[in-house]
Every structure is written in C-alpha cells, then in structure tokens.
C-alpha cells in the first residue's frame, strides 16, 4: 500500500504491522469470505491513510501549541493539575501550591508518624491471611501480600 505520509521508520513499521495483522485476521476466515474482506480492508486502510495525512498537519499545530504551553509553565514555575469534576483542571504556581498544601495539612491537624507503620500492618495482613485457609487459597494469598512493602517517598 502506498501511503503519502512522511517516511519515518516508525510510521512505516506501524503500517507494515497493521497490514500484516489484517492479513493474518483475514486468513482465519472461511476461504470464500477472504477475498471480499481483503477488498474491504484495502479500502478502509486507504481511507485511514488519507485521513492520517490530514491529522499529521493538525498534530503539528497542536504540538506547537503544547510546546508553547509547556515552556510558559516551566518559565513561570507553575503546574496544571486535575482538581474536581466541576473544574477539571487548574493552573497555579508551585509556590502557591506548596503554601496551599501546608495550610491544608495544618488546618486538618495532620501529624507525622514517629515510626513507619508499614511493617506492623504487613505482619497483621500476613497473619490474618494465614488464618483464612478456607476462604483464601495459597495462590490468592501470594497475590494479596507484598514481598517488600515500602512507604511512598516524600514529595
């Protein structure tokens, strides 16, 4: 199939794989159905090829816009975050975010643990699972326990 898209190795590899996988799927069909499906697949792939050229032009513009947005975010030391359903994204500076985070932690009286409780809870989970042989089999127990649990690194 001749596709007039930019000749990049990755794109050629994609098209080659797509065509080969389509042919493999067609060969699984009944021999009487293979020819009509090859014709249909060829038509669809040509349509897809032509439309992907149009999308490449659009993608270049979108890439340019995204690069500009990213450079402005980096320049202002800001970030974009998912907030909630009503206002899906919000942007603010990192200094502002850090201040908000500290205020939230202080207002809700969060405290640091004196000792990491991960080992304690891991032992409790393991002990509980050992006494539940009738409910949870050995394979499930292995799936439910972590070998080396760790707390997340501080952000």
Domains of the chain: which residue ranges? 9-75, 78-107, 116-150
User: For residues 34 and 101, what is the distance between their CA atoms, to the nearest angstrom?
Assistant: 61
When the pLDDT of each residue in the chain is averaged and rounded to a whole number, the result is: 76
pTM of the model: 0.32
pLDDT in tens, 45-85: 887 777 665 556 666 777 777 777 777 777 777 776 666 66
User: For residues 146 and 143, what is the distance between their CA atoms, to the nearest angstrom?
Assistant: 8
How large is the average pLDDT for residues 76-95?
A: 67
For 91, half-sphere exposure in the C-beta direction (CA atoms, 13 angstrom radius) is: 10
Alpha-carbon dihedral sign for residues 66, 67, 72, 74: positive
Hey, is 116 helix, strand or coil? coil
For 31, half-sphere exposure in the C-beta direction (CA atoms, 13 angstrom radius) is: 0
């Amino acid at each position: 199939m001749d596709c007039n898209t930019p000749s990049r190795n990755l794109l050629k590899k994609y098209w080659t794989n797509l065509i080969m996988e389509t042919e493999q799927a067609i060969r699984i069909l009944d021999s009487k159905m293979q020819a009509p499906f090859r014709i249909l697949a060829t038509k669809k792939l040509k349509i897809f090829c032509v439309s992907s050229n149009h999308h490449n032009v659009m993608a270049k513009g979108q890439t340019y816009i995204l690069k500009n947005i990213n450079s402005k975010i980096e320049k202002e030391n800001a970030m974009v975050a998912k907030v909630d359903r009503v206002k899906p994204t919000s942007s603010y500076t990192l200094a502002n975010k850090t201040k908000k985070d500290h205020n939230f932690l202080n207002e809700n009286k969060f405290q640091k643990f004196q000792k990491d409780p991960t080992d304690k809870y891991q032992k409790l989970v393991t002990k509980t699972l050992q006494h539940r042989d009738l409910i949870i089999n050995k394979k499930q127990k292995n799936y439910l326990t972590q070998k080396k649990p760790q707390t997340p690194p501080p952000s």
